[in-house]
Every structure is written in C-alpha cells, then in structure tokens.
Amino acid sequence: MLYERFGPRHWWPGDTRLEIIIGAILTQNTAWANVEKAILNLKRQGLLKPKTLSEISEKKLARLIRPSGYYNVKAGRIKNFLRFLDEEYGGSIDRMFRAPLNRLRNELLAVKGIGRETADSILLYAGGKKAFVVDAYTKRIFSRHGFIKEGSDYGEIQALFLKNIPNSARLFNEYHALIVELGKNMCRVRKPLCAECPLRRMKNG
C-alpha cells in the first residue's frame, strides 16, 4: 500500500558509503535539510574520504558540520567512528563491510555515540546488510495501529519485524524509507491525516 502510494524512495541519499555513514550520524536529532548543508560543506572541501576526514581537527570538523546542530558532539562521534575504522579495518570501508552482520553491529554499537538506529542505518544503507532500522516514525505508526506498545524497546520492535517480514536487505531498505515518508507527511505527532492515509483500512480493521 505504501509503495503504491509513495513509489520507490531510492534510499539512502548519498553518493558514497562514507557519505551515507556520515549522514546517519549527523541526522540524529535534526531535520535532513540541515544534514544536507553539513555534508555539502564537507564535499566542497573535498573531505568526504576516511583519510582526509581523519586528518582534519575535530574543531574544524565541528565548524563544517555546524548546520546539523549539536556539532561538537557530532564531530566527536564522527571522529570516534573514523578511529574505529582505522584501528579495526585499516581505514577501509570495504573491509569493514566484509565483516559478518552481528559482529560488525556489536562493534559499531561499541563506538561512543553510535546507537542502535544509527548502527542499523549504517549497516543497511551503507553496507547493504540485513539490519532492520527502527525509528520514532516506526514506533508511532505501529503503536497507533496496536502492533506494538508505545514504550516498546528497540530490540523488541526490530524482532517483531524480523519475524514477520521476509529477510531481505532490499525490502528492509524500502520498508524503512516508506515508513519515514508516511511518518513525515501523514502520521504526524499531532493531527495525523488518517482520512488520506494508505494505511487507514488497517486502522479501521
């Protein structure tokens, strides 16, 4: 229903795997439009490569990503990721993504500032791995339809999806992107647009 209504989402926006990873870190607590501005600053300076990004100071990085908000914290997170990439995989994103899903997920979660949603976004959208991403939109939509409780834990919700939908990275990619589209445009916090929503029949039983 969502696919029919919104069409393919072509997620995640980004020309390279590193750009997607940086985007996943920068999008925490901010609108995507702000992330785009921050990424553009990095691109203009030719910094979207692990080595060049590792070489600039955290202070300079923070200045460049300022539009994304919480820029000092996020610069620290990006630097933490780059340090991890360098130490564990010799700075190679290709090598990193050759690691098995569960091992890499645990390693990413051990990087300070990378939580479950960010780790799964990196794994799915930059790595093409079978990691289902749960976000605030997922929680809102599926709790409004009674599939999950409002306060359900990330792992619980993820497990529910993994149990009920085919285990395909391509599907996970499109599914999450469609959920975001629905959450942004229709299933808003206040005054959801149920009358025009493709999921309204599901709601009414």
CB of 193 to ligand SF4, least distance (A): 6
> Nearest approach, Cβ of 1 to ligand SF4 (angstroms)?
10
Burial of 150 (0-12, 13-18, 19+ CB in 10 A): exposed
Q: What percent of the chain is helix, strand and coil (3-state, nearest 5)?
A: 65, 0, 35
**Cβ closest to ligand SF4, residue 49 vs residue 144:** 144
Of the candidates 144, 152, 154, 160, which one interacts with ligand SF4 according to CB under 6 A?
144
Give yes or no for a contact between 156 and 117, defined as CB atoms under 8 angstroms apart. no
Alpha-carbon span 176 to 197, nearest angstrom: 17
Q: Give the whole-angstrom CA distance, residue 185 versus residue 199.
A: 13
State in angstroms the smallest separation of the CB of 147 from ligand SF4. 11
Q: Which of residues 150-189 bind ligand SF4 (CB under 6 A)?
A: 182, 186-187
Determine, following the binding rule CB under 6 A, whether residue 203 of this chain makes contact with ligand SF4.
Answer: yes
- Residues lying near ligand SF4 in the complex (CB under 6 A): 141, 144-145, 182, 186-187, 192-194, 197, 199-200, 203
